[in-house]
């Protein structure tokens, strides 16, 4: 499975903009402009500016194009979007090869020379405030913030990237321009293109990005999330989860977070394998033992993430509110078994095949190749190296990693939020 093939090119413009391209025998192009400047770069009184600015860059026009002209151009592309994350603002696109030059022209002028048309800024202000309100009105918002605060303890990964509506309400165009000036510079950006690339793609990139301004670098190395020092359990009343027709049949939600090794740590391969083993699919131990055998949950999942130098092993479930203690005991029992009992090769081979299928399915597309290139840029790992890492996980390695990171219920260190409809 060769992902970064002989057609992969990776270089840097004189102004510091990183370019990564790969040709594939497809009919379209997948692209992504990554600006390494986002929520983590906000001061405490700026929470939400990165997200608000992202909205305005998309629809507010540029020096070259009015908002209506920008709308028309974007409407000709197959797919465009924008997203604010903790450490990056991302502008993805899917286009026909003939639209590569128009997109490069529009996106470069939009991010480097935004017009920030007043009427569009006001329109986006309302949209952003509604987006924040919709998020905070979600019944699960309180438990999400609770687990985030308990677990991340000030680490940037815990930032609420949508922001503070009060900041958005008060931000004028001057504040948006000042925030833009601090980070929207060529040396803070990565341009990734995959697909049926025209032969003169490098020339086009030079034309539309080569003369753009360079500024202070906002690329940062995130601090590693520190191990938890204590067990933190929050049992909150959640009447929105109540089954009004049959209260005793109500489900409570469990969010159990463990601080583990980040993505760049070799332990990440075993941790992700353990996540699949415990709660990855219908062959997982949680599904078989907590779901089918005990009937405690319709779904109990486990997942590992290690981005932003924050290793997170998360177990989530909705369980019978009347059987909370039994459900928690069952979850910790399955983790204990991994520490005490060697898994068999058949079970491990199934997981390896599941993971191999996941990567094959992901990378069997241009967007998957974009993901592979991002992994190469961010962690200097190819997909082949990642697959080799999983293939090298042994039953002994799983037991060793489980003992290292999976806690006991009584004395372990973890963050747990229980949202309970029956709690008064």
How much is the average pLDDT of 346-374? 85
pLDDT of residue 7: 79
Q: How confident is the model at residue 353 (pLDDT cuts 50, 70, 90)?
A: confident
**Contact call for residues 393 and 270 (beta carbons, < 8 A):** yes
pLDDT value at 37 more than 90: yes
- Distance from C-alpha of 249 to C-alpha of 192, rounded to nearest angstrom: 50
Residue 288 has pLDDT above 90, yes or no: yes
For the segment 302-317, what is each residue's pLDDT rounded down to a tens digit? Answer: 999 999 999 999 999 9
pLDDT category at 2 given cuts 50, 70, 90 is very low
The mean per-residue pLDDT over the stretch 339-364 comes to: 85
**Ranges of each domain in the chain:** 8-209, 232-420
pLDDT of 53 above 50: yes
Handedness of CA 96, 101, 104, 106 (dihedral sign): negative
**Burial class of residue 72 (count of CB atoms within 10 Å of its CB; 0-12, 13-18, 19+):** exposed
Query: 232-420: same fold as 8-209?
Result: yes
Homologous superfamily of the 8-209 domain (CATH): Metalloenzyme, LuxS/M16 peptidase-like (3.30.830.10)
Model pLDDT for residues 150-198, shown as the tens digit of each residue: 999 999 999 999 999 999 999 999 999 999 999 999 999 999 999 999 9
Q: Give the position of tokens 């909150």.
A: 236
- Over residues 66-74, mean pLDDT: 95
Lowest mean pLDDT of 57-71, 170-184, 371-385, name the range. 371-385
Rounded CA gap, 245 and 419, in Å?
19
Taking the C-alpha atoms of residue 264 and residue 281, their distance in angstroms, rounded to an integer, is 25
Please report which helix (H) or strand (E) contains residue 257, including its range.
Answer: strand 251-260
Quickly tell me which residue has 């840029």 as its tokens. Answer: 377
Whole-number percent of the chain with pLDDT over 90: 83
Q: What are phi and psi of 393, to 5 degrees?
A: -80, 120
- Integer Cα distance of 406 and 399 in angstroms: 10
Which residues fall within 8 angstroms of residue 49, CB to CB, at 6 or more apart?
Answer: 42, 163, 167, 168, 171, 175, 176, 179
Average of pLDDT values for 146-150? 90
Confidence at residue 362, expressed as pLDDT on a 0 to 100 scale: 76
Residue position matching structure tokens 């095949």? 353
Residues in contact with 228: Cβ distance below 8 Å, sequence separation at least 6, in sequence order: 151, 258, 259, 413, 414, 415
* Confidence at residue 142, expressed as pLDDT on a 0 to 100 scale: 85
* pLDDT value of position 5: 59
Res 388: pLDDT: 87
The pLDDT value recorded for residue 4 is: 55
The arithmetic mean of pLDDT across residues 17-35, rounded, is: 96
Contact 291, 297 (CB under 8 A): yes
- Contact in structure between 183 and 37 (CB atoms under 8 Å): yes
Average per-residue pLDDT in the chain? 93
Report which secondary-structure segment, H or E, holds 65.
none
Torsion of the alpha carbons at 124, 126, 131 and 135, rounded to the nearest 10: 150
Backbone angles phi, psi at 416, to 5 degrees: -135, 125
The model's pLDDT over 243-285, given as tens digits with 9 standing for 90+, comes to: 999 999 999 999 999 999 999 999 999 999 999 999 988 889 9
Q: Under a CB-based contact definition with an 8 Å cutoff, are residues 41 and 158 in contact?
A: no
Which candidate, 131, 184, 125, places its Cα nearest to that of 160? Answer: 131
User: How do beta strands 189-195 and 297-305 pair?
Assistant: unpaired
Q: Which CATH superfamily is domain 232-420 in?
A: Metalloenzyme, LuxS/M16 peptidase-like (3.30.830.10)
| Greatest mean pLDDT among 292-301, 327-336, 362-371 | 327-336
Tell me the HSE value of 105 on the side-chain side, using a 13 A CA sphere. Answer: 12
pTM as predicted: 0.92
Cross-sheet strand order for the sheet of 232-237: 232-237, 415-420, 251-260, 311-320, 297-305
pLDDT reported for residue 1: 35
């Amino acid at each position: 499975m060769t992902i970064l093939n002989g057609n992969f090119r990776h270089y840097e413009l004189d102004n510091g903009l990183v370019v990564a391209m790969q040709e594939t025998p497809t009919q379209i192009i997948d692209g992504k402009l990554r600006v390494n400047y986002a929520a983590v770069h906000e001061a405490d009184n700026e929470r939400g500016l990165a997200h608000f600015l992202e909205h305005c860059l998309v629809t507010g026009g540029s020096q070259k194009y009015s908002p209506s002209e920008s709308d028309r151009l974007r409407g000709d592309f197959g797919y465009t979007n924008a997203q604010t994350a903790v450490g990056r603002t991302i502008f993805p696109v899917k286009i026909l090869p003939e639209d590569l030059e128009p997109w490069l022209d529009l996106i470069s002028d939009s991010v480097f020379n935004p017009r920030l048309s007043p009427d569009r800024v006001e329109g986006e202000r309302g949209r952003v405030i509604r987006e924040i309100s919709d998020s905070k009105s979600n019944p699960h918002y309180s438990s999400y913030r609770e687990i985030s605060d308990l677990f991340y303890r000030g680490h940037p990964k815990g930032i609420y990237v949508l922001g503070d509506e009060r900041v958005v309400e008060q931000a004028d165009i001057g504040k948006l321009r000042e925030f833009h000036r601090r980070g929207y510079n060529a040396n803070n950006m990565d341009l990734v293109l995959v697909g049926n690339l025209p032969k003169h793609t490098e020339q086009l990139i030079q034309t539309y990005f080569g003369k753009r301004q360079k500024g202070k670098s906002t690329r940062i190395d995130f601090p590693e999330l520190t191990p938890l020092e204590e067990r933190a359990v929050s049992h909150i009343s959640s009447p929105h989860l109540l089954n009004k027709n049959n209260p005793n049949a109500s489900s409570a939600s469990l969010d159990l977070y463990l601080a583990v090794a980040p993505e760049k740590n070799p332990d990440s391969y075993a941790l992700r394998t353990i996540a699949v083993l415990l709660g990855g699919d219908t062959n997982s131990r949680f599904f078989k033992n907590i779901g089918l055998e005990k009937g405690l949950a319709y779904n109990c999942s486990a997942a590992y993430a290690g981005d932003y130098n924050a290793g997170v092993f998360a177990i989530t479930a909705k369980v019978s509110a009347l059987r909370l203690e039994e459900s928690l005991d069952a979850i910790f029992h399955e983790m204990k078994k991994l520490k005490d009992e060697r898994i068999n090769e058949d079970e491990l081979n199934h997981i390896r095949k599941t993971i191999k299928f996941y990567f094959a399915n992901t990378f069997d597309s241009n967007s998957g190749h974009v993901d592979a290139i991002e992994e190469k840029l961010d962690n200097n790992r190819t997909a082949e190296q990642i697959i080799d890492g999983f293939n090298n996980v042994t039953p002994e390695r799983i037991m060793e990693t489980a003992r290292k990171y999976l806690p006991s219920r009584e004395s372990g260190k973890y963050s747990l939020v229980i949202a309970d409809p029956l709690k008064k």
